A and B are shown apart, each in its own frame.
Chain A
Amino acid sequence: MTNRTSLTLYAATLAFALLGAGGVKDARAASDVASLLAAADRYRSGAGNLQVETEVKVLNRDGSTDKERRYTVFAQVQRKSLVLMRSPAEQGQKVLMLGDDFWLMMPGSQRALRITASQKLLGDASTGDIATLSWADDYTGTLVGEEKCGVQACLHLSLQAASKGVSYQRIELWIGKARSEPIAADLYVHSDKLAKQARFVFDNADAPTTVTEMVLQDRLSNHKETRVRYVSRQAKAVPEAWLNPMFLARNPALE
């Protein structure tokens, strides 16, 4: 083998090694981001299968209440959620989400309607804000870098939607570096316009274990503040039948 051939072979081997290392590094980085997202999710979702009583309050610029809604959310593994509307204005409405498939039941119809991702986003966007308790299931992300969030060090993650029907196509998320608790998020809609900015309120500021409230500031249209308060959480795996669209017309017995 000539020197030129050896050199070429050596360069090619080195190039492949570096590319391979880069691929391994990308895979590991992706895995790290997934782990970080899962850790951040635990502050919102806790156990795998949950029943979450949620209160959503929309405040006007002067601080007065514009709208108040209550929901019962059965958030289940594998991106399955059943949302029951509890407020008088929406009493009887139900939304079922099974991965990228959605159904709506309106009071008085007694019939579940198969709806598109766009139809799910009609009207109140609260359904998406309250029913999605997992970024890891719906988003892929990259680590942008380490930044300062107030006085604490945090990690900036850039998330892209991996599922249909999510309210936000892109999320810029900041999580605590030490504990991976969610601190703030910029939420972008499909047109890549900044729709809302979120910050998270915890049960214990010094030793957070659970997000008790998510405060959303509208940056797109009405500039109102939305407070999503998680009134209670309990582990609950709903019967398989409850996640059948045809079961929506029945009233599930709540325990």
Chain B
Amino acid sequence: MTSPERAQLPRLAWHALLAALTVIAAGAAGAGNDDFGGELRLRREQLRGNAQGPLAAGESLSPGVAPPTLSASLAEAELRGVWRAPALDLVRASIFGNALLAAERSDSGAAGSQRTTQARLNEGFVAGDFGAWQASVGKKVVAWDVGYGFRPNDVVQQERRRRLLTTTQEGRPLVEVERFHADASATLVWVNPQNANDTDDASRQGLESALATRTYVRAGSADWHAFARWGEHTRASLGAAVAWVATDELEWHASARIMQRHDAWQFDSSAGNAPVAANPWLQTTLGGAAQALLGASWTGQQQISLLVECWYDGTAPADSDWEAWLSRNRALAAFGTQPGLPSALVSAAGGNLAWQATPFATNNLRRNNVFARLAWQEQRWVLSLDALVTPSDRGRVVTAAVQWQGERLRVNAAWRTYGGPADALFSQLPQSQVGLLAVTLPF
């Protein structure tokens, strides 16, 4: 048996186990209390491209190398189901499923309008209820930590925060065991078991096989959490979080994590400021880092609430890295606009500028962040205004949103604008503004 064949065995075994469990549980299913439903959703995402930034500069030099992402209309159906098996002496088993069917049609661009369809299993797992012990096997969303804008200790799901529309995320394959007491609980998760023994490069950005634990204790008006994680290539991390209700109106929360290693974008310094033949930005496993968050929320009697958070993310590129990045952008732009430059080299400069957008695909662009959200809720309406600021470059993201909730129908509208000084990272993202309108009908 060759090495690639051996590497596939754990994944195949995992899928076979999942299929077997599903068949067994489905065969035993049929009791009452089954629950089916879902929601239909129409949404429009309106994007306004940014004339600044490396993508725009690259597209300008080499049209087609980084065409702007087009606005799009989407129709989605999210289907949910819970099948509960008849209760046995020792265990009650259930099967949970959540699937997303989506069709997207983008606006007409250079290549015309594009239509895509997608079918995705968000969650599909078998749960066993053994009284104080609980277990789950399958694809599931397991979300931890206490913050709103950032969650350092969300080490299983690793959710991207501050989305314009809250929808069910795609879970991760995992095995989960939990023990519950009255005021405490302990959870052990093996996430991505199918990727065990994968290479580092094949298991980045949430795909790493890892063991994670959470211990929870309720102590009066405070919830305490302790986290530990052992990743196959990122090794150990430890974290803690607390949420404390200080008064009838005020709540504080904090979270911190230290890690032995972390995955991040790293620039191949041998590329310097000149165009190169391959993307010089690579996902790499780097050394130790720390993350921390401190926040508070206040809610008044007039149904107004204010949330303020500040956080530090040591896995984000350092300011010096971004300075080098800016320097390379300027050098590439200057190179590509030299009079008389052969078109191949102009294209190379354009392509390299487009690659400079690679490190944008990260949780936090800057290490230091400040976030504030003001919301007002009245009957069927919720209005909110929030701002994320990166003090080191005075970049900002401002979002205004409104939600109306009817008896069934829900309408969400939001507008987000990115800005700041010309050199601010938020001013150089591919979009300068993003708008959303969504109509959701649950059933």
Contacts and interface: CB of A to CB of B under 8 A. Distances in A.
Contact of B131 (A113, A190, A239, A255): A239
A109 interface: yes
Given A88-B442, A116-B245, A240-B181, A122 B408 contact: no
B94 A251 contact: yes
A91 interface: yes
Interface string A215-250: 000000010000000000000000111011111011
Contacts of B251: 114-116, 119
A49 B84 CA distance: 24
Given A123-B377, A165-B248, A244 B183 contact: yes
Contacts of A1: none
B245 to A, nearest CB: 5
B216 A246 contact: yes
| Size category, B interface | 35 or more
A207 interface: no
A98 to B, nearest CB: 8
A190 B180 contact: no
Contacts of B377: 122-123
Contacts of A68: 407
Nearest to A123: B377
A199 interface: no
Contacts, number: 125
A87 B134 CA distance: 27
Interface residues of A, dominant DSSP: loop
A244 B182 contact: yes
A38 interface: no
A247 to B, nearest CB: 6
B19 to A, nearest CB: 22
A241 B131 contact: yes
Given A91-B442, A101-B245, A116-B250, A108 B167 contact: yes
B185 A89 contact: no
Contacts of A115: 245, 251
A37 to B, nearest CB: 23
A146 B301 CA distance: 35
B88 to A, nearest CB: 12
A232 B181 CA distance: 29
Interface in A133-187: 164-165
Contacts of A6: none
Nearest to A109: B143
A191 interface: yes
Given A118-B249, A243-B182, A101 B408 contact: no
Given A247-B185, A253-B92, 8 more contacts: A89-B406, A91-B442, A110-B157, A118-B249, A119-B297, A241-B131, A245-B216, A253-B84
Interface of A: 67-68, 87-89, 91, 100-101, 106, 108-111, 113-119, 121-123, 164-165, 190-191, 222, 239-241, 243-247, 249-251, 253-255
